[in-house]
């Protein structure tokens, strides 16, 4: 029996159960052990009914005051039961569970656990869990793991199988050297895994978690180090030299480069002339002007006789970069090609041929650049734009397409320092902490829906003055929403009617065909379309400097990271821009959170405040991003463990580390993939 065994080897797991496990990504015993609980339930002391708080999960100890009623409404059976605990009365409801009646007797006390809600004058719990005295006593003494399950799979089945799989996990599977365990007071792998699934107490569970979070961070830091070690010996095989075209291109720009841009370019030039392979991250907030850095780098490589590729996370962005590069380099005799997943097979083939014959100098595209069988001819530079949308693995894959190609990674995600060291430990960083000078800071407004007519009037005025506007909605199609205008399609209809024929309005969303999306974007970029009602497909990278208004509807449904990225679509030209965050509900919490954006246009500041306010968690969306798919670890809340993992890697000798890496991968193998797919909307 081994951890690599298929789950069907576990007693009692047949085809049907196996299929359910497969749905959750569980195929082997090993997968099962790594399927950690997403949370733990506790059974708190019961509260008196008179002291219950609305919308909180509470436990009461109460007895029915009369026989439960069974009513049928809309074909559904509902059990209604009044209970009392001496301090007050409340009503309990169960839907589609007529059998609970057999447990409810007037005067006989039970524990009920559920979320307290209000119906008219009385408090209720809907579908409360019902526990006898003994059951409650046992459960209240231990933590109850909660898993993401799928229909048909019960927590009991899962627990039984995890228990069985644990039998095959032995001390020998622990890859971590005893020395590291001793120094940090870590328990063994088997104990930790067992404890995370079957915790004896909160304290012991937290100890186990600490060990497992360390593992995640440690193996991650290790994989980054391995990448860096690989690189250190690598040299760029050809000598590169300065080219006049770069100077004349910069001289011909309609603006002066910011000093941050100049600094980044100097650093890139030094890298490229050094004879070593460049491995650089350009970290600059939205609108700091990263694209021109990419263009200049590609021009440099092209005139040295090398191809460059640039990978973007969405087709919309790839297409836009393609147009930008083409027109920027018109006078320089440079061939630019586009390669995306949605292109016709024949087109792709033609492009691939051109690439392998070195007929193009710059290739811009999406994932297709790594997934398609593209043969490069003399690939010298690999750029990933909006790196936070990709994973480390994808960056690696693209780079490996070119033997020893230089790498440039561009990202707008603000990352705390400790994290950057671990996450991008293999990269040199150029910080572009400056926006072009003539930009006027975006004016922000955080408002509620009553402001909608006014904002439409405002959009109309801006459009009549020759500017353009984005409206962002959270949904594509009408669903049973309270707000009839929460979706792109209904909204666009309504707004187009309001604005009239002279102001062309269109919609854009991720379910449209790529060609449609491209033509909508083109018409908007050219200024023919004045108002674009869209989902977050425009979130990353899109650049239409003439757009001066962004209205974000139901803004509270987006994360602060998305909102900041979205806002980055305006304020890109010299005219004053305006961002209107419209809250769908104006609760104080929503308004307070949105006001963070209202007060600042600085990505780093917003990240900091978001963190202070929410005590981190998924700070600024980094956690969901491609690079950071940790199962247990939370890069903010577990910052100490993150640092510990980084330091441990730094202070251990290479032999220990490479052994750890190989053996660690054996156990964590499958969950140990940081190359999340880019989230293409």
Out of 283, 291, 297, 648, the only residue in the binding site for ligand ADP (CB under 6 A) is 291
The rounded distance, in Å, linking the Cα atoms of 265 and 272 is: 10
Closest separation in Å from C-beta 260 to ligand ADP: 9
Using CB under 6 A as the binding rule, the residues of this chain from 55 to 114 that contact ligand ADP are none
- 255 binding partner (options Mg ion, ligand ADP, none; Cβ < 5 to 8 Å by kind): ligand ADP
Return the residue nearest ligand ADP (CB atom): 289
Pairing of strands 122-126, 336-339: unpaired
Closest separation in Å from C-beta 257 to ligand ADP: 5
Buried b (16+ CB within 10 A) or exposed e, 194-233: bbbbbbeeeebbebbbbbbbbbbbbbbbbbbbebeeebee
Closest separation in Å from C-beta 205 to Mg ion: 43
The rounded distance, in Å, linking the Cα atoms of 44 and 399 is: 53
To 10 degrees, what angle do helices 315-328 and 514-525 make? Answer: 50
The rounded distance, in Å, linking the Cα atoms of 379 and 406 is: 9
Nearer residue to Mg ion within complex by CB, 541 or 571: 541
Is there binding between residue 257 and ligand ADP (CB under 6 A)?
yes
Nearer residue to ligand ADP within complex by CB, 289 or 313: 289
Site string for ligand ADP, 570-589 (x = CB under 6 A): --x-----------------
Nearer residue to ligand ADP within complex by CB, 492 or 539: 539
Using CB under 5 A as the binding rule, the residues of this chain from 509 to 548 that contact Mg ion are 541
Output the six-digit token pair for 146.
């909660």
Nearer residue to Mg ion within complex by CB, 215 or 385: 385
Site string for Mg ion, 541-580 (x = CB under 5 A): x---------------------------------------
Out of 106, 527, 545, 598, the only residue in the binding site for ligand ADP (CB under 6 A) is 545
Closest separation in Å from C-beta 541 to Mg ion: 4
Burial class of 567 by CB neighbour count within 10 A (0 to 12, 13 to 18, 19+): buried
* Region binding ligand ADP by CB under 6 A among candidate stretches 124-132, 174-182, 280-288, 398-406: 280-288
Structural contact between residues 197 and 162, judged by C-beta atoms closer than 8 angstroms: yes
Is there binding between residue 529 and ligand ADP (CB under 6 A)?
no
Is there binding between residue 601 and ligand ADP (CB under 6 A)?
no
* Region binding ligand ADP by CB under 6 A among candidate stretches 20-28, 83-91, 281-289, 332-340: 281-289
Is there binding between residue 366 and ligand ADP (CB under 6 A)?
no
C-alpha dist (Å) from residue 591 to 276, 447, 555:
50, 8, 10
Closest separation in Å from C-beta 390 to ligand ADP: 15
Out of 28, 30, 258, 548, the only residue in the binding site for ligand ADP (CB under 6 A) is 258
To 10 degrees, what angle do helices 588-599 and 603-614 make? Answer: 150
Output the six-digit token pair for 440.
């006027």
Burial class of 167 by CB neighbour count within 10 A (0 to 12, 13 to 18, 19+): exposed
Is there binding between residue 676 and ligand ADP (CB under 6 A)?
no
The rounded distance, in Å, linking the Cα atoms of 614 and 602 is: 18
Nearer residue to ligand ADP within complex by CB, 395 or 572: 572
Total residues at interface with Mg ion (CB under 5 A): 1
- 63 binding partner (options Mg ion, ligand ADP, none; Cβ < 5 to 8 Å by kind): none
The rounded distance, in Å, linking the Cα atoms of 566 and 442 is: 12
* Region binding ligand ADP by CB under 6 A among candidate stretches 105-113, 150-158, 191-199, 250-258: 250-258
Return the residue nearest Mg ion (CB atom): 541
Closest separation in Å from C-beta 364 to Mg ion: 13
Is there binding between residue 380 and Mg ion (CB under 5 A)?
no
Closest separation in Å from C-beta 376 to ligand ADP: 25
Is there binding between residue 414 and ligand ADP (CB under 6 A)?
no
The rounded distance, in Å, linking the Cα atoms of 458 and 531 is: 12
Nearer residue to Mg ion within complex by CB, 340 or 384: 384
- 510 binding partner (options ligand ADP, Mg ion, none; Cβ < 5 to 8 Å by kind): none
Nearer residue to ligand ADP within complex by CB, 123 or 328: 328
Pairing of strands 76-84, 57-64: antiparallel
Is there binding between residue 313 and Mg ion (CB under 5 A)?
no
Is there binding between residue 284 and Mg ion (CB under 5 A)?
no
Longest CA–CA separation in the chain, Å = 92
Which is nearest to 219 in space by CA: 621, 623, 671? 671
- 496 binding partner (options ligand ADP, Mg ion, none; Cβ < 5 to 8 Å by kind): none
Out of 425, 436, 510, 559, the only residue in the binding site for ligand ADP (CB under 6 A) is 436
Instruction: For 470, list phi and psi in degrees, rounded to 5.
Output: -110, 140
Closest separation in Å from C-beta 675 to ligand ADP: 23
Query: For the CA atoms of 408, 413, 418, 421, what is the dihedral angle to 10 degrees?
Result: -10
Out of 28, 30, 288, 548, the only residue in the binding site for ligand ADP (CB under 6 A) is 288
According to DSSP, residue 71 is labeled E
Out of 280, 290, 399, 406, the only residue in the binding site for ligand ADP (CB under 6 A) is 290
Using CB under 6 A as the binding rule, the residues of this chain from 210 to 249 that contact ligand ADP are none
The rounded distance, in Å, linking the Cα atoms of 459 and 551 is: 9
Closest separation in Å from C-beta 291 to Mg ion: 5
To 10 degrees, what angle do helices 202-232 and 654-668 make? Answer: 120
Closest separation in Å from C-beta 116 to Mg ion: 48
Nearer residue to ligand ADP within complex by CB, 149 or 246: 246
User: H-type helices in 309-441, by residue range?
Assistant: 315-328, 345-356, 368-371, 392-399, 417-423
The rounded distance, in Å, linking the Cα atoms of 544 and 90 is: 58
The rounded distance, in Å, linking the Cα atoms of 666 and 659 is: 11
- 564 binding partner (options ligand ADP, Mg ion, none; Cβ < 5 to 8 Å by kind): none
- β strands within 19-119, DSSP E: 39-41, 57-64, 69-73, 76-84, 89-95, 110-119
The rounded distance, in Å, linking the Cα atoms of 322 and 365 is: 8
Nearer residue to ligand ADP within complex by CB, 210 or 290: 290
- Contacting positions for Mg ion (CB under 5 A): 541
- Contacting positions for ligand ADP (CB under 6 A): 255, 257-258, 261, 284, 286-292, 436, 541, 543, 545, 568, 572
């Amino acid at each position: 029996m081994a951890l690599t065994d298929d789950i069907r080897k576990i007693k009692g797991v047949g085809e049907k159960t196996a299929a359910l496990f497969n749905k959750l990504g569980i195929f082997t015993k090993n997968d099962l052990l790594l399927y950690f609980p997403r949370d733990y339930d506790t059974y708190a002391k019961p509260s008196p009914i008179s002291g219950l708080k609305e919308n909180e999960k509470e436990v009461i100890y109460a007895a029915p005051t009369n026989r439960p009623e069974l009513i049928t409404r809309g074909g559904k059976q509902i059990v209604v039961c009044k209970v009392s605990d001496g301090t007050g009365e409340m009503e309990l409801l169960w839907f589609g569970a007529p059998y609970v009646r057999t447990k409810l007797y007037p005067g006989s006390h039970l524990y009920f656990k559920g979320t307290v809600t209000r119906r008219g004058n009385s408090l209720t719990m809907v579908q409360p869990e019902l526990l006898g005295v003994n059951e409650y006593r046992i459960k209240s003494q231990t933590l109850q793991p909660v898993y993401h399950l799928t229909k048909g799979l019960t927590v009991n089945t899962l627990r039984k199988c995890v228990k069985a799989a644990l039998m095959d996990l032995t001390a020998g599977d622990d890859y971590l050297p005893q020395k590291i365990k001793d120094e940090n007071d870590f328990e063994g792998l088997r104990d930790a895994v067992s404890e995370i699934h079957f915790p004896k107490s909160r304290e012991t569970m937290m100890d186990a978690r600490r060990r497992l979070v360390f593992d995640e961070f440690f193996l991650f830091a290790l994989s980054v180090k391995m990448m860096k070690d690989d690189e250190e010996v690598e040299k760029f095989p050809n000598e590169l030299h300065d080219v006049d075209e770069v100077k004349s291109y910069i001289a011909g720009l309609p603006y002066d480069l910011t000093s941050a841009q100049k600094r980044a370019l100097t650093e890139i030039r030094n890298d490229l002339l050094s004879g070593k392979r460049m491995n650089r991250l350009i970290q600059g907030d939205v609108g700091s002007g990263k694209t021109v850095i990419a263009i200049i780098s590609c021009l440099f490589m092209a005139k040295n006789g090398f191809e460059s590729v640039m990978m973007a996370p969405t087709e919309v962005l790839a297409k836009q970069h393609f147009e930008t590069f083409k027109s920027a380099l018109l006078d320089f005799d440079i061939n630019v090609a586009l390669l995306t997943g949605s292109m016709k097979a024949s087109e792709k083939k033609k492009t691939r041929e051109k690439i392998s014959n070195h007929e193009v100098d710059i290739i811009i595209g999406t994932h297709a650049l790594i997934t398609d069988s593209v043969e490069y001819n003399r690939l010298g530079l690999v750029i990933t734009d909006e790196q936070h949308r990709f994973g480390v693995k994808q960056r690696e894959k693209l780079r490996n397409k070119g033997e020893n190609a230089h790498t440039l990674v561009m990202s707008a995600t603000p990352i705390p320092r400790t994290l950057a060291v671990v996450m991008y430990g293999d990269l040199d960083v150029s910080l572009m902490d400056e926006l072009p000078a003539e930009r006027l800071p975006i004016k922000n407004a955080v408002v509620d829906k009553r402001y909608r007519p006014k904002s439409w009037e405002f959009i109309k005025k801006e459009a009549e003055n020759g500017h353009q506007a984005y409206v962002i909605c959270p949904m594509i199609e009408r669903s049973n929403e309270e707000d009839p205008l929460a979706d792109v399609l209904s909204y666009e209809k309504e707004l187009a009617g309001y604005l009239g024929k002279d102001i062309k309005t269109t919609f854009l969303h991720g379910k449209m065909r790529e060609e449609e999306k491209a033509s909508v974007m083109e018409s908007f970029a050219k200024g023919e379309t004045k108002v674009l009602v869209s989902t977050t497909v425009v979130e990353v990278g899109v650049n239409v400097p003439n757009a001066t208004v962004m209205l974000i509807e139901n803004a509270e449904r987006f994360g602060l990271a998305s909102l900041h990225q979205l806002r980055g679509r305006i304020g890109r030209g010299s005219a004053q821009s305006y961002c209107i965050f419209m809250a769908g509900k104006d609760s104080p919490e929503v308004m307070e959170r949105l006001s963070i954006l209202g007060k600042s246009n600085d990505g780093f500041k917003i990240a900091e405040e978001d963190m202070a306010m929410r005590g981190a968690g998924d700070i600024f969306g980094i956690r969901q991003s491609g690079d950071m798919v940790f199962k247990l670890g939370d890069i903010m809340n577990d910052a100490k463990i993150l640092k510990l993992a980084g330091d441990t890697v730094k202070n251990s000798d290479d032999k220990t580390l490479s052994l750890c890496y190989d053996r660690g991968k054996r156990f964590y193998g499958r969950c140990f993939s940081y190359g999340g797919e880019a989230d293409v909307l």
